[in-house]
Amino acid sequence: MLEKIITLEDVSMVDFLGIHNSNIKEVAAAFPESKIISRGNEIRIQGTAPEIIRITDVIDSLLAHYQKYGKITNDNVKGYLNGIVKMPVATGEDDDDVILYGNKGLVVKAKTPNQKLLVEQAAKFDLVFAIGPAGTGKTYTAVAIAVKALKNKEVRKIIITRPAVEAGENLGFLPGDLKEKIDPYLRPIYDALDDMIAPEKLKLYLESRVIEIAPLAYMRGRTLNNAFILLDEAQNTTPMQMKMFLTRMGPSSKAIITGDKSQIDLPKNLKSGLIDSITVLKGIKGISFVELDGSDVVRHRLVKDILAAYEKSEK
């Protein structure tokens, strides 16, 4: 039996806990195998590690709601519980593979040896390159690692960026302003976040810029401190853009760079910043390179065969 204490600061205890602690009693009723005690400005949680993680997620969600709206209703509590509580309790050897408990009962795990290696390297190094073909889960795993760091308060924000390079299409012909043109290219990021964070909490994070998703060009001139930074589709950066991104890291930042060397959409006269960085940065202490391959593909079973056929054809 483990114990965790959450200290509530700058919170009206009546507004947060409810009359006669009704809100916290609602949370406790949802976790009958754990013990939740409210005393003064502290909430003491006793239970198994997976249960404590889920209870903490509920309380963190309620705190974020309180900071925005100034009070918590019983319906609010039930809403967050419905999004977070219905998660299977992980047991056995596979517990080590769990990255985090996501939205609507989803358990986000590292599913392949190289995905597990990516998780391990991200814990050890501040800068990690995850390189591999489509479908290997490199972006999804990287987003999960960043969300876990945010939930554990290891960083204050997440910044996710991609170069705005068209895959055979022209952005200028798409309708809408820049955000509306770019958002479809960032859809895989939003899909991953939808799996990992309750909708209301994700909306709050995006509105308050705790989670920021933007084209790479928006990173110029910024110093990103106490943040987890993800650069996706890095094969479509130029060497100058890659250098610009890498030099944005502040003293307390971590970064994961994902890319696929076989899907470069740059004009043929431009060198890929990802491929250039592999040569330039190899051997620097504190930087890790994780190579994923066809054995890590977690999409439809045909994707592995498709990748192998294209690789054979190119050779």
pLDDT tens track for 32-88? 889 999 888 899 999 888 888 888 888 888 888 787 777 788 888 887 787 654 444
Return the pLDDT at 15.
84
Which residues in the chain show pLDDT less than 70?
A: 83-96, 104-105, 165-185, 298-301, 303-304, 307, 315
227 forms beta bridges with 157
Pair type for strands 254-259 and 127-131 = parallel
Six-digit token pair at 256?
């994961």
pTM beyond 0.95: no
Return the pLDDT at 244.
93
CB contact burial 244-269 (16+ within 10 A = b; e otherwise) = bbbebbeeebbbbbbbbeeebeeeee
CB 139 within 8 A of CB 192: yes
Return the pLDDT at 152.
84
Ramachandran region, residue 156 (left: φ > 0; alpha: ψ -120 to 50; beta: rest): alpha
Spatial distance between the Cα atoms of 246 and 240, rounded to a whole number of angstroms? 10
Ramachandran region, residue 20 (left: φ > 0; alpha: ψ -120 to 50; beta: rest): left
77 Cβ neighbours under 8 A, 6+ residues apart: 18, 23, 26, 27, 62
Return the pLDDT at 143.
95
Tell me the HSE value of 195 on the side-chain side, using a 13 A CA sphere: 16
How distant, in Å, are the alpha carbons of 6, 50, 80 from that of 44? 6, 16, 19
Return the pLDDT at 151.
85
Q: What is the pLDDT of residues 83-109, one digit of tens each?
A: 654 444 444 445 567 888 777 667 788
Within 10 angstroms of residue 301's Cβ, the number of other Cβ atoms is 7
Spatial distance between the Cα atoms of 47 and 32, rounded to a whole number of angstroms? 10
